[in-house]
Structure 1
């Protein structure tokens, strides 16, 4: 079993070269970036001497539990994708965390992020879930991220409903490819709450096969610059927005005409009843 500890850092040739001229405890205090990806690490030990750590790379390991990071109040980026983590735990002290990478784990519920008010990017794609299971979101976590989260990646997680995500009004980049989204009306409603969205990927969802799918979403997301990897030019956007406005105006006019016809028919019917008495 491999533990990530200061002893493992001391044995690292990369770090050994850098610590010349400093005592090892002094060197640990200067560390800002720690690279231990793909090292068969199974858990995180005591790294509390690394008080200035800002970036931690632990992807492609065998970690099952997030622990012993409460010391890392300066941590800004945490890379823990492709491990075997089942729960998002023990991150409440990471007040400066802005990017969190947890893709390729075994997480069933996005939770435990209520204290991370600086979080701007959350990557939870490709969770290894049991058959029939889908990734869920704790409403408390979503509410706490509403004012900060700009990038969300939830690709390939069997998701069929994103209405709970509407609260994330600061989103600029949303990726939900290869899920099970099928209601274009639901998407239109959610995206109407995201005025700053400029990049979106929904490729591989059933909704992509719906008539006018691309046109309808472009008219709702007026800031969108690319959809499913295809750029949206200003001319196309302007044409579609004008087309939608014209169609809605015509529909409104027809509704008023129908109301007038109905009222006139009613009045004429009452008149006939009066003269026939």
Structure 2
């Protein structure tokens, strides 16, 4: 167990102080940079005598809690990578802190940085989280960092959605490699919302396997100069931007055409439907007056057809037996009661109707040539037998 103390600083700086021939107190007051990386340090003791400290290197140690840094009001750079830290805490007094390195720890939530108005760079890559967990972002901290943060490194933290980072309006460099980002549209919305982004690192995400990945990412923001470690040339950028503009123009035209068609259809649906004008029988007709009173629509074909219809109905009601001695045709009995023909049954107007042979009914004195019995007729009216 190793604790970072004033005594430890004194022992490590003894040779340097000898050369300058100055005491420990004077040395500590002037001290601006303190290097204690890879020293197996697991705790920070009271270092309040180092009031001028601006850079503190404590990476690759065993520190689990950030504490005793309240004195370091002038601290601008803090290196705490690869320790055992589980929470970002006790950093509120560091008003001048501009760069914070806490990658390789066990931090599950980005929080506790609300008072760090001067923070420009935040490196939280590859947190050692339990399987299935991902780095979370506390909303108040994001709001506090929204106007100042310029560099953010969140690589290797199991992230599949980073849309909430759109609030960081001044991001210039964004590193999110080795995550689980796969939604190209969400990524486009995020990158497009950053007006100052010029460096983007996304290697190791599923989205990189999309067709034309590089081309599609370059057109997300015209400010991009470096993508995945490769420079974006002006020629490449101009060509892809022109291609995107042409594609967007076609898309807008399709949307406008579809909107125009929908609007025209809606206007047609909203128009009042015209009613057909009534067609009435000739003036003075009883049916004309009845139709007018009842607002009945009468088809043109029905005008003048009532008498014909009444005649057909009357004929269908005639008795089956005719007066004695009247000539008749047995076929008439087959058509009694029919009101209309179908189109297939209706005879042609130009085709003459073949004459039907006369049929004689028996009178009182005999069978009209068949005195010994009554004749049988077929359907065409011809005699087929005599009984």
TM-score (norm. length: structure 2): 0.68
User: How do 1:143-154 residues align onto structure 2 when only pairs under 5 Å count?
Assistant: 143-154=143-154
Q: Which runs of 5+ in 1 are unaligned?
A: none
Q: Which moved more, 1:65-74 or 1:219-228?
A: 219-228
Whole-Å separation in 2 of the counterparts to 1:245 and 1:43: 57
**Structure of greater relative contact order (alpha carbons < 8 Å, 6+ residues apart):** 1
2:167 aligns with 167
Deviations 1:230-250 (A, max 9, x none): 211111111111111111112
Measured in 2, the distance between the counterparts of 1:275 and 1:256 equals: 34
Judging changes above 3 Å, is the alpha-carbon distance between structure 1 residues 65 and 264 closer, same or farther for their aligned structure 2 residues?
Answer: closer
Partner Cα distance (1:88, 1:22) in 2: 37
User: Matched residue of 1:255: which SS?
Assistant: helix
Structure 2 counterparts to residues 80-229 of structure 1, below 5 A: 80-229=80-229
Q: Which residue is equivalent to 1:250?
A: 250
Deviations 1:39-97 (CA, angstroms, capped at 9, x unpaired): 01010001000000000000000000000000000000000100000001100000000
Identify if the C-alpha distance between structure 1 residues 6 and 242 changes in structure 2 by more than 3 Å, giving closer, same or farther.
same
Deviations 1:94-135 (Å, cap 9, x if unpaired)? 000000000000100111000000000000101111111111
Partner of 2:8: 8
Instruction: Summarize the Cα distance change of 1:181–1:266 in structure 2 as closer, same or farther, 3 Å threshold.
Output: closer
1:226 is displaced (CA, Å) by: 1.1
Deviation at 1:259, TM superposition (A): 3.9
The aligned residue for residue 25 of structure 1 is: 25
Q: Cα deviation per residue 1:218-237 (whole Å; 9 max; x = unaligned)?
A: 11211001111221111111
- Give the whole-Å Cα distance in 1 for the aligned partners of 2:276 and 2:261: 22
Report deviation, 1:276: 7.4
Q: CA deviation at 1:213?
A: 2.4
Q: Distance in 1 between matches of 2:42 and 2:263?
A: 75
Count matched residues: 274
TM-score, normalised via structure 1 length? 0.93
Worse-matched range after superposition: 103-112 or 209-218: 209-218
Which of these two proteins has the greater Rg computed from alpha carbons? 2
Q: Could you say what secondary structure the match of 1:19 adopts? A: helix
SS at match of 1:25: helix
Q: For each residue in 1:194-218, what CA deviation from the matched residue of structure 2 results, as whole angstroms up to 9, or x when unmatched?
A: 1110111011001111223222221
CA separation of 1:268 and 1:132: change in aligned 2, threshold 3 A = closer
Shift of 1:251: 1.9
In the alignment, the residues of structure 2 paired with residue 119 and residue 186 of structure 1 have an alpha-carbon distance, to the nearest angstrom, of 27
Deviation of 1:264 after TM superposition, in Å, equals: 5.8
Q: What is the CA–CA distance in structure 1 between the aligned matches of 2:242 and 2:213, rounded to whole Å?
A: 17
User: CA, structure 1 residues 211+18, in 2 after alignment: closer, same or farther (shift >3 Å)?
Assistant: same
